[in-house]
């Protein structure tokens, strides 16, 4: 029965992906769901994409090992989403762009900022790979298939429904995954685990009061979680692309805040589940095995299938969100840069890689990169180090230039470029010196160097041209209404990759329909 439930779930993902195709009429629909998600869909899909396998299976494992203190990983994610939503989401939504690199180009007026897309693409690609490997391990157990077959099955399904309808398909499947995670974690696994552990008294009796020590995981570890995951949430393309789907700045701000609260509760629930498991199911050596072990131990057949499907849903939602983010960055930022490097004109390269060109080309990028994800996931056994490198470069190299553009008017394009270059070099260099890519020092040194260079170079170079800042300020000054036709109509210069010709830049970023279509709840 558990296997049947998983198979039904996977089939449903394909059906919802096909349903999403009917809503996809143009590239704005494919990449950002037409920028018209209401609070219900926006909150659900945002919560789904940020809560992946690390938050679900990993969070329970940390609770098993460290008690309630195991919640800090997911709490740091919730904190990042909260800060993003309260401080930046409404402004990000108003920009009407598609990628982080396009935001940098809009703010600083420097074409070279498209190089940041290479780092962003590496980060989102590895995020999709790690999620694919994670849910493939569950398929190994359920279906008895070897690792490669499991990767092909899961990765193929994610690639198919993501490519069929783009962000609309991903949004609809994310909502199913959000519901599954809510039922599986809050309404099944949490109460069953708490009851079997004997509640608070039973846990204290077997584990002692140390199980409820908030600092048991270590202050250094908690700080590292917040530096990497909180900051990473503020600037990740996979997260920003969900912000772009909101129908208004208010939805982006308050829908994201609601998702952050949900993530906070999710983190606490995962830690309590793991802590409860430690009380009545001791001796599990691998913390990542706790989720499946406790599910099989305390839940009847059928319910255990739902909980296992919830874990798969958590991983697939992250994988699909990272996949479409990778495809968007590859087409909008990386491909134009590569073509310019090999001698093609800016206009030609940009025109060939404009993300608004057509749905078919966007779909092709998702398919090709989906195949790349499957191949990499099948070949690699452990990509934690690669993902850590991508995360460290993302935060150490790009954080200052991205957030600085929102909060410091004096910042210049030269300051942003030098900040990204120095931050990346120092982060990688520190990894070599320390000899451990998983160490904390690289991201600290990288961030410090990036900030210092950003401030010094910006103060020593001419101010950003007034014409560039005027476009930036005009975009941010757009009203907070649900139908912002003015901003949408003027979005093309930001949405089009750097160097697009005048005719392309004059074209609207999306047809008028997304701006005036009925809001989707």
Say yes or no to pLDDT of 496 above 60. Answer: no
**Which pLDDT band, with edges at 50, 70 and 90, does 479 fall under?**
low
Contact between 426 and 445 under an 8 Å Cβ cutoff? The reply is yes
pLDDT 10s digits, 502-512: 333 333 333 33
Residue labelled with tokens 């900040």: 419
**Which pLDDT band, with edges at 50, 70 and 90, does 367 fall under?**
very high
Say yes or no to pLDDT of 98 above 70. Answer: yes
pLDDT recorded at residue 385? 66
For the chain, give the mean pLDDT.
84
d(CA 280, CA 196): 7
Residue positions counted in the chain: 521
pLDDT 10s digits, 221-272: 899 899 888 998 999 999 999 999 999 999 999 999 999 999 999 999 999 9
Question: DSSP letter at 356?
Answer: T
And the tokens for 142? 């359920």
pLDDT 10s digits, 302-332: 888 888 888 888 888 889 999 999 999 998 8
Which residues 6+ apart lie within 8 Å of 511 measured at CB? 25, 26, 28
pLDDT recorded at residue 386? 67
Question: Domain segments of the chain: what residues?
Answer: 2-381, 385-479
CATH topology of domain 2-381: Sodium/glucose cotransporter (1.20.1730)
pLDDT 10s digits, 398-431: 999 999 999 999 999 999 999 999 999 999 899 8
Q: Which helix (H) or strand (E) holds 195?
A: helix 190-196
What percent of the chain clears pLDDT 90, i.e. is strictly above it? 49
Farthest CA pair distance, the chain: 72
Reference 135, options 277, 271, 388, 312; nearest CA is: 312
pLDDT recorded at residue 488? 42
Least confident range of 70-84, 339-353, 479-493:
479-493
Burial of 16 (0-12, 13-18, 19+ CB in 10 A): buried
d(CA 102, CA 110): 10
Contact between 327 and 359 under an 8 Å Cβ cutoff? The reply is no
Say yes or no to pLDDT of 352 above 50. Answer: no
Spacing of C-alpha 153 from chain mean position:
22
Contact between 168 and 24 under an 8 Å Cβ cutoff? The reply is yes
And the tokens for 82? 């909260």
**Which pLDDT band, with edges at 50, 70 and 90, does 57 fall under?**
confident
Angle among Cα 154, 157, 163 to the nearest 5 degrees reads 135
d(CA 249, CA 85): 10
Mean pLDDT of 90-96: 92
**Which pLDDT band, with edges at 50, 70 and 90, does 26 fall under?**
confident
Mean pLDDT of 39-55: 91
**Which pLDDT band, with edges at 50, 70 and 90, does 356 fall under?**
very low
**Which pLDDT band, with edges at 50, 70 and 90, does 40 fall under?**
very high
> Which ranges of 330-440 would DSSP assign to H, the alpha helix?
335-341, 346-352, 359-379, 384-393, 399-407, 413-434
**Which pLDDT band, with edges at 50, 70 and 90, does 381 fall under?**
low
pLDDT recorded at residue 511? 35
Which residues 6+ apart lie within 8 Å of 435 measured at CB? none
Say yes or no to pLDDT of 91 above 90. Answer: yes
Distances in Å between the Cα of 191 and the Cα atoms of 62, 177, 271, 305, 415 are 18, 20, 13, 16, 52
pLDDT recorded at residue 495? 38
> Which ranges of 435-465 would DSSP assign to H, the alpha helix?
441-460
What's this model's pTM, rounded to 2 decimal places?
0.85
């Amino acid at each position: 029965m558990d296997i049947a439930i998983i198979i039904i779930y996977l089939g449903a993902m394909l059906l919802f992906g096909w349903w999403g195709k009917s809503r996809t009429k143009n590239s704005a629909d494919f990449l950002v769901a037409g920028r018209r998600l209401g609070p219900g869909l926006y909150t659900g899909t945002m919560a789904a994409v940020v809560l992946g396998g690390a938050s679900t299976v990993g969070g329970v494992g940390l609770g098993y090992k460290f008690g309630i203190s195991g919640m800090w990983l997911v709490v740091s994610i919730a904190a990042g989403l909260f800060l993003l939503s309260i401080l930046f989401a409404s402004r990000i939504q108003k920009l009407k762009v598609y990628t982080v690199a396009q935001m940098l180009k809009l703010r600083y007026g420097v074409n070279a900022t498209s190089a940041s897309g290479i780092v962003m693409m590496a980060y989102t690609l590895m995020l999709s790979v790690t999620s694919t490997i994670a849910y493939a391990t569950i398929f190994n157990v359920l279906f008895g298939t070897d690792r490669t077959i499991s990767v092909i099955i899961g990765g193929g399904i994610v690639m198919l429904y993501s490519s069929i309808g783009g962000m609309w398909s991903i949004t609809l499947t994310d909502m199913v995954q959000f519901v599954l995670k809510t039922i599986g974690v809050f309404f099944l696994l949490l109460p069953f685990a708490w009851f079997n552990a004997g509640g608070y008294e039973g846990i204290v009796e077997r584990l002692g009061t140390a199980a409820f020590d908030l600092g048991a995981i270590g202050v250094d570890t908690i700080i590292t979680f917040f530096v990497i995951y909180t900051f990473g949430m503020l600037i990740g393309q996979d997260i920003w692309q969900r912000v772009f789907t909101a129908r208004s700045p208010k939805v982006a701000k308050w829908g994201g805040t609601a998702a952050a609260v949900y993530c906070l509760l999710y983190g606490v629930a995962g830690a309590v589940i793991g802590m409860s498991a430690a009380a009545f199911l001791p001796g599990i050596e691998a913390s990542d095995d706790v989720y499946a072990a406790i599910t099989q131990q305390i839940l009847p057949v059928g319910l255990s299938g739902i909980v296992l499907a919830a874990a798969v849903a958590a991983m697939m939602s992250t994988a699909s969100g990272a996949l479409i983010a990778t495809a968007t960055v590859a087409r909008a930022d990386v491909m134009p840069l590569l073509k310019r490097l090999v001698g093609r004109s800016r206009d030609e390269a940009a025109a060939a890689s404009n993300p608004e060109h057509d749905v078919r080309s966007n779909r092709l990028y998702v398919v090709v990169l989906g195949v790349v994800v499957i191949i990499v996931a099948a070949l690699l056994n452990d990509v934690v180090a690669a993902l850590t490198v991508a995360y460290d470069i993302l935060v150490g190299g790009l954080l200052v230039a991205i957030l600085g553009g929102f909060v410091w008017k004096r910042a210049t394009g030269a300051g942003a470029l030098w900040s990204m270059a120095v931050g990346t070099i120092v982060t990688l260099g520190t990894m070599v010196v320390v000899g451990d890519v998983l160490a904390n020092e690289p991201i600290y040194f990288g961030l410090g160097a990036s900030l210092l260079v950003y401030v010094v170079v910006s103060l020593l170079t001419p101010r950003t041209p007034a014409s560039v800042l005027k476009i930036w300020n005009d975009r941010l000054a757009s009203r907070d209404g649900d139908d912002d036709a003015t901003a949408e109509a003027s979005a093309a210069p930001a949405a089009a990759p750097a160097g697009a010709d005048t005719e392309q830049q004059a074209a609207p970023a999306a047809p008028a329909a997304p701006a005036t279509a009925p809001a989707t709840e």
